[in-house]
Structure 1
């Protein structure tokens, strides 16, 4: 087996920022709606829920893929509970194949298949995916020349642009709702 240093791959910053921004854009108006609409839901309750959801999303996006001489591991920070996101470790010697599976949207994801028959999802949203795949090929001998990331960066740039537009609209709606007297249409 080749002598490669330990490599750590994290979720791409573009993907992390885009998904966190989308979460904010979708949830930030919620605490203001009861105030404008006159319902009895406490905005503090909604803010608490949004904060907890944001922490859970941030934890899920803190995934790290670690490659060393013995194995590939998917890990999360210690503060992320196991019931939220569970990591895994697979020794290189246990990997029998890398199998593609189509997604419901028509894309391809890849699973490591172990000698025991268990499948482990190849993390595809990491920064340096090409380097990760190259190292997987070096450690396992499996041909990875056709393995491509699930989503291309341009897809996340489009989603980020749409998210920024949604944030602008959110800001305008919140400002408009609070700049006029309540009860007037």
Structure 2
């Protein structure tokens, strides 16, 4: 196996995934403060607005994940402000020479994820939601010699497009719900 010289390549979470998850979060959360006020729930709308804002910040922070591939290895990292939050995701790095294998594992929903296994037996989850995934696994194969021809992303883009379409429909229901709550 010959290790190629790689200039650093950055892979970010796919735009369709980011947009879909942020849209879904928005349409699920925005009606809650209006409904809370309309039904005089014990939780004040302002508390819900603060919680929704914090949740949006957390979700956005998670969606800043990036995978950096270079001649040294793989690094999964997040925006600097995310790494500063105690107890939050810090990311990981793994040199090419420590990767022994790629092990598939079935998820609880029947999907298939992969873990990098190191020489010491540790497992690191293969990032799968990035734009340029096929180029990424080709780089992994070139650097490690591990066959990645059967490695596919966990979810296909069309699945996120369907979920985005459902988010748009739910947004229409939200408009009706909010207007009913404000006028009721």
> TM-score, normalised to structure 1's length?
0.94
Contact 2:20–2:160 at 8 Å: present in 1 too? yes
RMSD over aligned Cα atoms: 1.0
Contact 1:72–1:92 at 8 Å: present in 2 too? yes
Within 5 Å, which residues of 2 pair with 1:43-122?
43-80=45-82, 81-122=85-126
Query: 2:43 maps to what in 1?
Result: 41
Matched, 1:167 2:140: no
Which stretch has the larger CA shift, 150-159 or 30-39?
30-39
Q: Which has the higher contact order (CA 8 A, sep 6+)?
A: 2
Distance in structure 1 (CA, Å) of the matches to 2:98 and 2:133:
22
Distance in structure 1 (CA, Å) of the matches to 2:28 and 2:42:
21
Structure 1 gaps, min length 5: 181-185
Structure 2 gaps, min length 5: none
Cα distance change, pair 159–33 in 1 and its aligned pair in 2 (3 A): same
Matched, 1:10 2:24: no
Runs of 4+ residues deviating >6 angstroms: none
**Equivalent pairs, count:** 180
The structure whose residues are more often helix, as a share, is: 2
Distance in structure 2 (CA, Å) of the matches to 1:82 and 1:15:
26
Within 5 Å, which residues of 2 pair with 1:9-28?
9-28=11-30
Residues 98-125 of structure 1 show CA distances to partners (whole Å, capped at 9, x for unaligned) of 1111111111101000001000000000
SS in 1 for 2:31: coil
User: How far is the alpha carbon of 1:82 from its aligned partner?
Assistant: 5.0
Distance in structure 1 (CA, Å) of the matches to 2:151 and 2:42:
52
Distance in structure 1 (CA, Å) of the matches to 2:86 and 2:154:
25
Query: 1:126 maps to what in 2?
Result: 130
> TM-score, normalised to structure 2's length?
0.95
Contact 2:34–2:182 at 8 Å: present in 1 too? no
